[in-house]
């Protein structure tokens, strides 16, 4: 992260830098941390970066073993997204984050219901 910020000419407050692990729950924790950093420090903005693997190691190994010599084979890799948060809204603001929500799958329901979980997350975000 330090190299990326340096290459972009961006100053990074190392006290406001954290790494969160754990999937969707980590996203909610990261957004809460970013909000607190904006409130408690004199920062112009906070960037939340998310990176996730698109393939598990066993699946990647299997793909490579099945087609070891094909140069044009598809091998899934990593995906990333970045969200820039500021306290100052302006006419050039692309979006306003009004709320966040996450759902956990019901333990009584097997398998979990993705539609029901999505509705639960949306309701929490809208509240």
Question: Rounded to an integer, what distance in angstroms lies between the CA atom of residue 15 and that of residue 96?
Answer: 25
Q: Is the CB of residue 20 less than 8 Å from the CB of residue 26?
A: yes
Model-level pTM greater than 0.75?
no
> Which has the minimum average pLDDT: 44-58, 79-93, 95-109?
95-109
Question: Rounded to an integer, what distance in angstroms lies between the CA atom of residue 127 and that of residue 120?
Answer: 11
| Better pLDDT: 73 or 38 | 38
Give the tens place of pLDDT for each residue, 2-49.
787 888 888 888 888 899 988 777 888 898 899 888 888 788 888 888
Helix (H) or strand (E) holding 53: strand 45-53
């Amino acid at each position: 992260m330090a190299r990326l910020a340096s290459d972009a000419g961006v100053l990074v407050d190392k006290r406001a830098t954290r790494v969160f692990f754990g999937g969707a729950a980590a996203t909610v924790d990261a957004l809460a941390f970013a909000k607190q950093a904006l409130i408690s420090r004199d920062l112009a903005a906070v960037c939340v970066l998310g990176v996730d693997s698109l393939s598990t190691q066993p699946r990647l190994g299997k793909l490579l073993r099945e087609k070891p010599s094909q140069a044009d084979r598809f091998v899934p890799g990593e995906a990333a997204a970045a969200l820039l948060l500021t306290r100052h809204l302006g006419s050039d603001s692309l979006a306003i984050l009004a709320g966040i929500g996450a759902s956990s799958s019901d333990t009584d329901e097997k398998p979990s219901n993705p539609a029901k979980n999505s509705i639960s997350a949306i309701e929490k975000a809208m509240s």
